Amino acid sequence: MSTAKKPLRYEGVEFRVQLVALGIALAFSVLCIQLWRLQVIHQVEYQSRAEENRVWPQRLKSDRGLICANDGTVLADNRASADIMFVPGECPKDRRQEVCDTLASLLTDLSSDELMKTIALHKRTPFTQILIKRDVSKAERVRIEEHSYRLPGVFSVVRPVRRYLYGKTAGQILGYLNEINQEEYKTWDGYSMGDLVGRSGLERQYEELMHGRDGYMLVTKYASGLPQLRTDNRGVPYIAPRDSLGNILEEEGNRLDPLAGKTLNLTLDIKLQQFCESLLANVIGAIAVLDADSGAVLALASSPSYDPSVFVDPGRSNRDECRTLLSGTNPNRMKHRAMSEQYPPGSVFKVLLAAAALEEKVITPESTFTCPGHFQINGVGNVWNCWQHHGHGSVNVIQALAFSCDVFFYNVGLKLGIDKISEYCHKVGLGEKTGIDVPGETSGLIADQEWKKAMNKDKPIWEQNWYPGETVNMSVGQGGAATTPLQNAVLIACILNGGYRIRPYLCKDFGPQRLDRVFSGSTIEIVTKGMRLCVEKGPPAPSGTGHLVYTPGMSVLGKTGSAQVASLKITKQYANELDIPYELRDHAWFVAGVLDRTPKLAMCILVEHGLHGRDAASPLAKAIIDYYYGPAAPAPTKIARQEGP
Residue type, 194: G
Look at residue 601 and give its three-state secondary structure. Answer: strand
| DSSP structure class, residue 155 | E
Q: How many domains does the chain have?
A: 2
Name the domain boundary from 239, 265, 291.
265
CATH number, domain at 77?
A: 3.90.1310.10
Indicate the DSSP class of residue 137.
-
Do residue 408 and residue 516 come from a single domain?
yes
CB 497 within 8 A of CB 292: yes
Query: Pseudo-torsion of CA 40, 45, 47, 53, nearest 10°?
Result: -150
Query: Do residues 319 and 170 both lie within one domain?
Result: no
Which pLDDT value is given to residue 553? 87
If the chain, 645 residues long, is cut into consecutive pieces of 10 residues, what is the mean pLDDT of each piece? Answer: 56 73 86 80 65 66 93 92 88 91 90 91 86 87 89 87 92 92 87 87 94 82 71 73 74 80 96 96 96 96 93 70 82 93 96 97 95 90 90 95 96 96 96 95 95 92 93 94 97 96 95 89 96 87 87 93 88 86 94 93 96 94 93 64 40
3-class SS at 49?
helix
Measured in whole angstroms, the distance separating CA 13 from the mean position of its chain's CA atoms is 88
Give tens-digit pLDDT for 341-392. 999 999 999 999 999 999 999 999 999 999 999 999 988 888 999 999 899 9
Contact 537, 377 (CB under 8 A): no
Reported as a single tens digit per residue, the pLDDT across 4-17 is 555 555 666 677 77
Show the domain range for 164.
57-265
How far does CA 542 lie from the centroid of its chain? Answer: 44
The pLDDT value recorded for residue 643 is: 43
Q: Is 464 helix (H, G, I), strand (E, B) or coil?
A: helix
CATH label of the domain that carries residue 432: 3.40.710.10
Q: What is the 3-state composition of the chain as percent helix, strand, coil, each rounded to the nearest 5?
A: 40, 20, 40
SS3 label, residue 182: helix
Q: Is the previous residue joined to 304 through a cis bond, with omega within 30 degrees of 0?
A: yes
Helical (H) or strand (E) element with 416 = helix 406-416
Same domain as 209, residue 142: yes
Q: Please say whether the dihedral angle defined by the alpha carbons of residues 264, 269, 275 and 276, taken in this order, is positive or negative.
A: negative
In terms of Cβ atoms closer than 10 Å to its own Cβ (0-12, 13-18, 19+), residue 449 is middle
pTM: 0.84
Among 395, 322, 340, residue whose Cα is nearest residue 363: 395
Name the DSSP class of 7.
P
Secondary structure letter of residue 282 according to DSSP: T
HEC readout, 49-91? HHHHHHEEEEEECCCCCCEECCCCCEEEEEEEEEEEEECHHHC
- Residue 81 pairs with which residues in a beta bridge? 159
Q: What is the pLDDT of residue 641?
A: 44
496 shares its domain with 618: yes
Residue 86 belongs to some domain of the structure: yes
Same domain, yes or no: 235 and 315: no
| 32 Cβ neighbours under 8 A, 6+ residues apart | none
Tell me, yes or no, whether 214 and 307 share the same domain.
no
* Strands 285-291, 601-607: pairing kind: antiparallel
* CA–CA separation, 209 and 212 (whole Å): 7
Considering the domain architecture, whether residues 226 and 307 belong to the same structural domain is answered as: no
> Buried (b) or exposed (e) across 285-303, using 16+ Cβ within 10 A?
bbbbbbbbbbbbbbbbbbb
Judge contact between 339 and 481, C-beta under 8 A.
no
**294 part of a folded domain:** no
Please answer whether residues 393 and 371 qualify as being in contact, where contact means their C-beta atoms are separated by less than 8 angstroms.
yes
Structural domain contains residue 599? yes
Q: Same domain, yes or no, for 505 and 456?
A: yes
Q: Are residues 520 and 609 in the same domain?
A: yes
Residue type, 415: K
Report the candidate in 479, 462, 461 with the shortest Cα–Cα distance to residue 470. Answer: 479
Residue 535 neighbours by CB distance under 10 Å:
27
Identify whether 275 is part of a domain: no
CA gyration radius, the chain = 36
* Pair 358, 252 in one domain: no
In a domain, 21, yes or no: no
* Cβ 134 vs Cβ 163: under 8 Å: no
| Tally of CA atoms within 13 A in the half-sphere of 402 that contains its CB | 24
Terminal-residue alpha carbon distance, the chain: 115
- Assigned domain for 292 exists: no
Is there a domain that residue 280 lies in? no
Q: Are residues 256 and 309 in the same domain?
A: no
Element (H, E) at 60: strand 55-60
d(CA 200, CA 266) in angstroms, rounded, equals 16
Whether residue 353 sits in one domain with residue 221: no
Q: Is position 296 within any domain?
A: no
Helices (H), 417-519: 418-428, 449-455, 461-464, 468-475, 485-496
Residue among 356, 353, 390 nearest 370 (CA): 390
Given phi > 0 = left and psi -120 to 50 = alpha, else beta, which region is 592?
A: beta
